[in-house]
Chain A
Amino acid sequence: AQSVTQPDIHITVSEGASLELRCNYSYGATPYLFWYVQSPGQGLQLLLKYFSGDTLVQGIKGFEAEFKRSQSSFNLRKPSVHWSDAAEYFCAVGGALMEYGNKLVFGAGTILRVKS
């Protein structure tokens, strides 16, 4: 069965510092991987996605993520965090078009706090 683990419930970083949010997944086939961000009281916005090809993917707002098949990981990174990045971040895994009902499984989320 599909599953996603985000080991860190909360992370606090200083503004301008680098950021890495961890995501580990379990999936029986080639995964489609996503990172979403949710600001307080808002819906989810897609940051980036990985389907195939280059294992380092670039997203919006200066975020990037690296797919490592050997480690079943898809960690999210940003070189310099801004106060506006404070939000909750969700990693999700899904299958190809006809696999597993096309459903996404989400991790529990990581809340990012940015201190000035």
Chain B
Amino acid sequence: NAGVTQTPKFRVLKTGQSMTLLCAQDMNHEYMYWYRQDPGMGLRLIHYSVGEGTTAKGEVPDGYNVSRLKKQNFLLGLESAAPSQTSVYFCASRGGRDNEQFFGPGTRLTVL
């Protein structure tokens, strides 16, 4: 049982390039989330999904898109990367009756 995994672990992009971050969970959770973590700001919610085929905006959605084509996967896309998107990105999933979220190990993204 791997829990929540994220691919890749590290990535360096040039301004204007695009990329997709993959999050996968094997716990059959309905809810999945993408956060970004910046120093002194905690974790901020980018987008989330309450089930396969659904997505919704979080606190800081601009410049990102997401898709949830399969229940176990939640993809985060950057169509045209900007230096302001340099951050550590965390994926999380949640299932069951409570609100506990399980986090992946993170992806460190640098945009030059």
Q: Indicate with 1 or 0, residue by residue over A29-59, a CB within 8 angstroms of chain B CB atoms.
A: 0001010100000111110010100000000
Q: Indicate with 1 or 0, residue by residue over A1-37, a CB within 8 angstroms of chain B CB atoms.
A: 0001000010000000000000000000000101010
CA distance A108 to B41 in the complex (A): 5
Instruction: Assess the B42–A104 pair: CB atoms within 8 A.
Output: no
Partner of B98, one of A45, A49, A106: A49
Interface residues of B in 82-112 (CB under 8 A from A): 90, 92, 94, 97-106
Q: CB-CB < 8 A to A45: which residues of B?
A: 103
CA distance A85 to B103 in the complex (A): 19
How many inter-chain contacts with C-beta < 8 Å in the A-B complex? 60
Say yes or no: is A90 at the interface (Cβ < 8 Å to chain B). Answer: yes
Instruction: Assess the B40–A43 pair: CB atoms within 8 A.
Output: no
Q: CB-CB < 8 A to B106: which residues of A?
A: 42-43
Binding-face segment, B11-19, B43-51, B60-68, B69-77: B43-51
CA distance A4 to B56 in the complex (A): 22
Say yes or no: is A68 at the interface (Cβ < 8 Å to chain B). Answer: no
Max chain A CB contacts within 10 Å: which of B33, B42, B99? B99
A31 to chain B: closest residue by CB: B99
Partner of A101, one of B41, B43, B56: B56
Instruction: Assess the A102–B97 pair: CB atoms within 8 A.
Output: no
Q: A102-B94, A108-B40 are in contact. Are A44 and B100 (CB under 8 A)?
A: no
Q: CB-CB < 8 A to B31: which residues of A?
A: 102
Instruction: Assess the A51–B50 pair: CB atoms within 8 A.
Output: no
> What is B's interface to A at a CB cutoff of 8 Å?
4, 31, 33, 35, 40-45, 48, 50, 56, 58, 90, 92, 94, 97-106
Could you give 12 example pairs across A and B, Cβ below 8 Å? A32-B99, A43-B104, A44-B43, A49-B99, A51-B98, A96-B99, A97-B99, A103-B45, A104-B45, A107-B42, A108-B40, A109-B42
Given contacts A34-B99, A43-B105, 6 further A-B contacts (CB under 8 A): A32-B98, A42-B105, A44-B92, A101-B50, A104-B33, A107-B42
